Amino acid sequence: MSRKKEVRGSEELLVSKKYVRQSQIRIILHNLRKNKGAMIGLAIIVLLVLVSCFADVLFDYDTEIAGLDISQKLIRPCKEHIFGTDDLGRDIFKRVLYGARYSLGVGFAATMIGMVIGVIFGAIAGYYCGLAEDIIMRLNDVLSAVPSILMGIVIVSALGASTFNLMLAIGITSVPQFVRITRAAVLSVRNQEYVEALKATGMSEARIIAFHVIPNCMSPIIVQITLRIASAIIATSSLSFLGLGVPVPAPEWGSMLNLGRSYVRTASYLTIFPGIAILITVLAFNLLGDGLRDALDPKLRK
């Protein structure tokens, strides 16, 4: 083999390093940047993630978030407490900020649980037709026939109210969506000729599915993840509102709504601010999801 080699110093440089390949993530980001709504959504999410990560640095949980101070109770929004304080004298602004970690954390973890289970079964159902597909899809139909809130209530009541059980409950309710989306995507990829070409080169089916089929189905799954996180956040808040979610006194937005319920007429700021927090977060994820759907669509790429 008489190939020319780039010699830099004494080290031989592989030719493939010389020609930089375009990173796919960069192309997607480039497309995403054009979408203002998605960028706003992304900015809000980044902010919320930062707040969640550094919540413990910013606030002292025992005194500022969970500690009571009856003398300060039910103060209207003012300079000192810009969102006011609740019936136990806790600062609502701090609690709302701190609460982001529960919503995001549970929403994200639950979606991941749902995604992993859903993608595995969806890929199997899509790739191997026949009996496996029938069984998975019928079970999936059964699972999606149960209203998700009801499902969540059943799981949490059976296993007990804890943050982990909440994640599990919400995760399982999001499985059917992922199964369906993955199966549809896999079905279209499976019939592409390159899958057959890889079989002809003697590659194992497991490797083909993991390295060639699933990566090509990622776009709808990624979009689904962002949209599912939004609904998982709503589900988290709903279950917490019912007292089945994150145990008190943790400042979960849903349980804050529940606490403020009895003061709606006299001190509406107890419910307004956590409500707005939920709204903005869900909106941010939905905006990002819509933006990603466009950015990942190969038809819109040049």
Partner 1 sequence: MAENILEVRNLKKYFKTPRGMLHAVDDVSFTIEKGHTLGIVGESGCGKTTTGRCILRLVEPTSGEIFFEGKDIMKLNRSEMKHLRKDMQIIFQDPFSSLDPRYTINQTLSETLRINKIRSGKKAIEDRVLELMETVGLAERLINTYPHELDGGRRQRIGIARALAMEPKFIVCDEPVSALDVSIQAQILNLLEDLQEKLGLSYIFITHDLAVVNHFADEIAVMYLGQIVEKAPTAELFENPLHPYTQALLSAIPIPEVLDERPQTILSGEISSPIEPKDECRFSKRCRFSGDRCKECGPKLVEVKPGHFVACGRLGEL
Q: Residues interacting with partner 1, by CB under 8 A? A: 1, 3, 12, 14-16, 19-22, 24, 192-194, 196-203, 207, 212, 215-216, 298, 301
Give least dist CB 19 to partner 1, A. Answer: 5
Tell me the closest approach of the beta carbon of residue 301 to partner 1, in angstroms: 8
Q: Three-state secondary structure along the chain?
A: CCCCCEEECCEEECHHHHCCCCCHHHHHHHHHHCCHHHHHHHHHHHHHHHHHHHHHHHCCHHHHHCCCCHHHCCCCCCCCCCCCECCCCCEHHHHHHHHHHHHHHHHHHHHHHHHHHHHHHHHHHHHCCCHHHHHHHHHHHHHHHCCHHHHHHHHHHHHCCCHHHHHHHHHHHCHHHHHHHHHHHHHHHHCCHHHHHHHHCCCCHHHHHHHHHHHHHHHHHHHHHHHHHHHHHHHHHHHHHCCCCCCCCCCCHHHHHHHHHHHCCCCCHHHHHHHHHHHHHHHHHHHHHHHHHHHHCCCCCC
Cβ distance to partner 1 smaller for residue 9 or 298: 298
Q: How far is the CB of 216 from partner 1 (least distance, A)?
A: 6
Give least dist CB 1 to partner 1, A.
5
Q: From the CB of 122, what's the least distance to partner 1, in Å?
A: 19
Residue closest to 99 by CA, chosen among 156, 51, 160 = 51
Identify which of residues 57 and 298 has a Cβ nearer to partner 1 in the complex. Answer: 298
**Closest separation in Å from C-beta 293 to partner 1:** 18
Which residue, 13 or 154, has its beta carbon nearer to partner 1?
13
CB of 45 to partner 1, least distance (A): 26
Please tell me the distance from the alpha carbon of residue 152 to that of residue 169, in angstroms, as a whole number: 5
In this complex, which beta carbon is closest to partner 1, that of residue 72 or of residue 219? 219
Q: Which is nearer to partner 1, 201 or 266 (CB)?
A: 201
Considering the complex, state which of residue 18 and residue 265 has its C-beta at the smaller distance from partner 1: 18
> Between residues 19 and 71, which has the closer beta carbon with respect to partner 1?
19
